[in-house]
Chain A
Amino acid sequence: MSTDQIVLAPEPEIEAFTRTLSASLPRSVAIDVDHGSTAVIAGTGDWVARIGSGAAPIAIVVDPQPTDAQAVRTLAADASEVVLSETFAGNPAVAQLRERAADALGSATLMTLVATGDVSPATALLEQLRLLRAVGVTEITVSDSQVTSGSALVTASGVGLGGSTALLRLQTATTTAGARAHRLRIFSPGAIVSATLPSSDTARPATVSVMDGSGALHLPDISEHAHRATLRDLTDRRARDLSEELTQLADDLELIASITA
């Protein structure tokens, strides 16, 4: 075993998935369910409490779902070393989009998000908010939200990377038809950016295109899902302000709670 190896201690419900991750990073990642130094926590149920009850000094939360925002805020204040690994916001294509479509992100006037899949509207909306955060949107203010047991349609505004205010439209539909996916479109005076982000059950790449007056550029495919990217970049991720990231998640959870109340 290399001294640089990350030794993961996954929860039982996520152990099988974690083993598929370690199989794709056989030199960098190992699994020791009882003594691993990095816990892998499924973001379901009361995931905050389960982090607290574990012995590992580091925790990776895979796809945090809606939970008590205050508990997440407390976790952030505890200076716990918690890394969030999010299927859609963390897809490597999103970072690429942010870099390659900076001009469009900086002058966006409209962003539309559509999510389909077999998850609740609250979970899909949280994923959409996290996706917006990942492309640099801040100060999200909701003006109308329609949430049913199987769908949601939210109108909001947010401030993009360039400081301009964009209209945001978030739509979700809970369905068993087809695989889970999120689609993001960013409209700016100079370009339209389209991204389709698949679920993380495969390494199917996201598709991202930037269309401007000269044509349409399909950004290079990245056949790696978010959670493998999290593990590969774990050292860098741990160096970021993890408390701030948790605080932002708490903000988003509060917004989701207000939307779905």
Chain B
Amino acid sequence: MSAQLTVGIIGAGPVVQAIHLPTLARLTETFRVAKIMDVDQAVATEVAGRVDAVGVTDVNDIIGDPAIDVVAICSPSQFHSEQTIAALRAGKRAVLTEKPLAVSGEQAKQIAAVADETGVPLFVGAMHTFDPAWLDAQPYLDELRRGVRSIRSSIVLPPNNRFEDWATEVVQRPEMQIPTDFGPEMRAAMMPAVVLGLAIHDLPLVRSFLPEDEATVTAAEFIAPFGYAISVRAGDVVADVSGLMHGHWQPMWEFDVVSDSAHLHIDFTPSFVQAGSGTAVFTDESGTRRFGLQGHNGYEGEWRALAAAANGDLSLMPSRASLIDDLVLAVDIGDAAAALQLEGAQS
């Protein structure tokens, strides 16, 4: 067995506290968290202390530390590009950047160029692309792609803290800033945020079924306080990209693809809690097959894939091109949805 990989995590917010640290606690034979960085020393120290790591406030204490094998970038999105490039250039064994990889397509291309140049394995935290339900169904998906007609990504969730509080004891939870005015300009401003904050979870799955025709956003509705209903058309394929953070307790995190002769439906488990994998149901003329229902979710899947890549097995590492294309699609959808809010107001 390979030696433990030493991990440095940039960011100590709820996602790190409630997702990555509990996930890494299930993988202690593979990973050891050595440092956690936060701009607030007290937060960094407390969160790091939970895993016997060192809390630091300077990014370079992690990126520049040769003892750190793997850097996980879980900072606010606007810092992802610069920090990812720095981690790649530092010659780490692997880098995991939380989604979104960057906030513009140009940034994503710069990151990919550096990843090519350095050869460092790069992963984006698109956890459902590593969920056993998704991976196990892969052998059947080419059949689906040949005649795809309709895609549906629907993410209906309770507030995050419902699950965070079952996963850990969060320190310094950022307050949700809920606007009170949902006029056109506010809706336009919120659209990229909801796309890059929520829709992005499954946009890589959506993109994998879209034909190469240019995808067009034909409708976009902002659903207060935090939701969206976006229509995407690419050739003869329609895609419903919808999400809603509601006040109820029941999560409904679903993904559907329907072709002329096959149907894939996936129910994903909520983030934060270790609720195992999603469940995929694939139906065609030969019958129905069920996949997933495994004991680990996509977050654990992505860390496992990263460990494999750090040790030379790149079979589950996404291509650089796909990372760029995933981000460009998300940015384009967010921008187009924002523009539709303003156009609607003008008309």
| Residue positions of A touching B, CB distance < 8 A | 109-110, 112, 114, 116, 143-144, 146, 148-153, 155, 167, 169, 171-178, 185, 187, 189, 191-192, 211-213, 216
Chain A minimum-CB-distance residue to B284: A177
A173 touches B247 (CB 8 A): no
Q: Which residues on the B side are within 8 Å of A150 (C-beta)?
A: 149-150, 236, 260
- In the complex, 26 of the A-B residue pairs with CB atoms within 8 angstroms, ordered by the A residue number, are A110-B223, A110-B227, A110-B244, A112-B154, A114-B256, A146-B218, A148-B149, A148-B237, A151-B149, A151-B236, A153-B150, A153-B231, A153-B238, A153-B240, A169-B229, A169-B240, A171-B150, A173-B149, A173-B258, A173-B263, A175-B259, A176-B261, A177-B283, A192-B248, A211-B248, A213-B249
Supposing A173-B150, A175-B262, A177-B285 touch, asked if A146 and B221 sit within 8 A by C-beta, the answer is no
A234 to B14, CA, bound (A): 59
A152 touches B219 (CB 8 A): no
Shortest Cβ distance from residue A192 to the other chain B in the assembled complex, whole angstroms: 6
A185 to B244, CA, bound (A): 13
Using a Cβ–Cβ cut-off of 8 Å, how many residues does chain B contribute to the interface with A? 37
B150 touches A172 (CB 8 A): yes
A4 to B150, CA, bound (A): 48
B250 touches A175 (CB 8 A): no
Q: Which residues on the B side are within 8 Å of A191 (C-beta)?
A: 248
A169 to B150, CA, bound (A): 14
Contact of B152 among A171, A175, A189, A213 (CB under 8 A): A171
User: Can you list the 6 inter-chain pairs with the closest CB atoms, starting with the nearest?
Assistant: A144-B219, A173-B258, A173-B150, A153-B238, A177-B263, A151-B150
Q: Which residues on the B side are within 8 Å of A187 (C-beta)?
A: 156, 244, 246
Is B81 among interface residues, defined by CB-CB distance under 8 A? no
Is B269 among interface residues, defined by CB-CB distance under 8 A? no
A213 to B219, CA, bound (A): 32
B250 touches A178 (CB 8 A): no
Q: Which residues on the A side are within 8 Å of B297 (C-beta)?
A: none
Contact of B237 among A109, A143, A151 (CB under 8 A): A151
B229 touches A155 (CB 8 A): yes
A177 touches B236 (CB 8 A): no
B248 touches A212 (CB 8 A): yes
B223 touches A116 (CB 8 A): no
Chain B minimum-CB-distance residue to A147: B238
Contact of B247 among A110, A177, A189 (CB under 8 A): A189
Q: Kindly list 6 other residue pairs between chains A and B, CB separation below 8 angstroms, not including A114-B152, A153-B238, A153-B239.
A: A116-B258, A146-B238, A151-B149, A151-B258, A175-B258, A192-B250
B221 touches A155 (CB 8 A): yes
Is B233 among interface residues, defined by CB-CB distance under 8 A? yes
A114 to B242, CA, bound (A): 13
A114 to B231, CA, bound (A): 14
Shortest Cβ distance from residue B39 to the other chain A in the assembled complex, whole angstroms: 37
B250 touches A177 (CB 8 A): no
How many residue pairs bridge A and B at CB < 8 Å?
Answer: 101
By secondary structure, the A interface counts as strand
Q: Which residues on the A side are within 8 Å of B261 (C-beta)?
A: 175-177
| Residue positions of B touching A, CB distance < 8 A | 149-150, 152, 154, 156, 218-219, 221, 223, 227, 229, 231, 233, 236-240, 242, 244, 246-250, 252, 256, 258-263, 283-285, 288
A177 to B227, CA, bound (A): 31
Chain A minimum-CB-distance residue to B229: A169
B152 touches A143 (CB 8 A): no
Shortest Cβ distance from residue A129 to the other chain B in the assembled complex, whole angstroms: 17
A213 touches B149 (CB 8 A): no
B233 touches A177 (CB 8 A): no
Q: Which residues on the A side are within 8 Å of B259 (C-beta)?
A: 175, 177
A176 to B242, CA, bound (A): 25
Among A112, A153, A185, A189, the most chain B Cβ lie within 10 Å of the Cβ of: A153
Chain A minimum-CB-distance residue to B264: A177
Q: Which residues on the A side are within 8 Å of B288 (C-beta)?
A: 178
A210 to B229, CA, bound (A): 22
Supposing A110-B244, A155-B219, A173-B149 touch, asked if A148 and B263 sit within 8 A by C-beta, the answer is no
Q: Which residues on the B side are within 8 Å of A213 (C-beta)?
A: 248-249
B285 touches A171 (CB 8 A): no
A177 touches B262 (CB 8 A): yes
B149 touches A175 (CB 8 A): yes
Chain A minimum-CB-distance residue to B242: A169
A116 to B264, CA, bound (A): 12
Q: Which residues on the A side are within 8 Å of B236 (C-beta)?
A: 148-151
A174 to B231, CA, bound (A): 18
A155 touches B231 (CB 8 A): yes
Shortest Cβ distance from residue B233 to the other chain A in the assembled complex, whole angstroms: 5
B238 touches A178 (CB 8 A): no
A77 to B223, CA, bound (A): 41
Shortest Cβ distance from residue B147 to the other chain A in the assembled complex, whole angstroms: 8
Among A109, A149, A178, the most chain B Cβ lie within 10 Å of the Cβ of: A178
A211 to B264, CA, bound (A): 25
Contact of B238 among A151, A167, A192 (CB under 8 A): A151
A151 to B239, CA, bound (A): 10
Q: Which residues on the B side are within 8 Å of A211 (C-beta)?
A: 248-250
